[in-house]
Amino acid sequence: MSQTITRGIKALLDDANAAIETLTPAEAIALQNDAGVLIVDLRDPRELEREGRIPGSFSCPRGMLEFWIDPESPYAKPQFQQDKKFVFYCAGGLRSALAAKTAQDMGLKPVAHIEGGFAAWRDAGGPVEAWVPKKK
């Protein structure tokens, strides 16, 4: 028997985009060097290695987001305990919309995401740097 999905990805994205701030790539580029902003890269390491990253961004794989945000989690990261604006991005702006909504629902604020994700950032002339994994 097949599953019956009652709320598909389109509805989830519509809800997320209605509830969160969406930045154009130009708006996000203007915030890049703002000390009150943390730009969060949700892509996985393979994407980072292949495409590069926004200089100064904090890498948080999407699968760890909730665990890294919650200060009660054993995986909590200090980056999410700061009084900053959190700007999320992924490859194309879909995962980041859902992630920003989830972060906002958890109480993180203010949050936003970059419309069109990393691809739109790069196409708008935003700076990109090679990703170098941390040494173990």
Q: Is pLDDT of 54 > 80?
A: yes
**What are the chain's domains?**
9-123 (3.40.250.10)
Q: Which residues of 86-111 are buried (b: 16+ CB within 10 A; e: fewer)?
A: bbbbbbebbbbbbbbbbbbeeebeeb
Interhelix angle 94-106/9-19, rounded to 10 degrees, is: 60
The string of pLDDT tens digits covering residues 91-117 is 999 999 999 999 999 999 999 999 999
Residue 39's Cβ-side half-sphere holds a number of Cα atoms within 13 Å equal to 24
pTM higher than the cut 0.85: yes
Q: What confidence tens digit (pLDDT) does each residue in 26-37 have? A: 999 999 999 999
Position 80 pLDDT exceeds 80: yes
Mean pLDDT of 36-59: 96
Residue 87's pLDDT is 98
Mean pLDDT for the chain overall: 96
Helices of type H across 20-93: 25-31, 45-51, 65-69
- List the beta bridge partners of residue 59: 41
Distance CA 71, CA 128 (A): 31
Pairwise CA distance, residues 84 & 82, whole Å: 6
Nearest to 87 by CA among 37, 42, 51: 37
The structure tokens listed for 40 are 């969060």
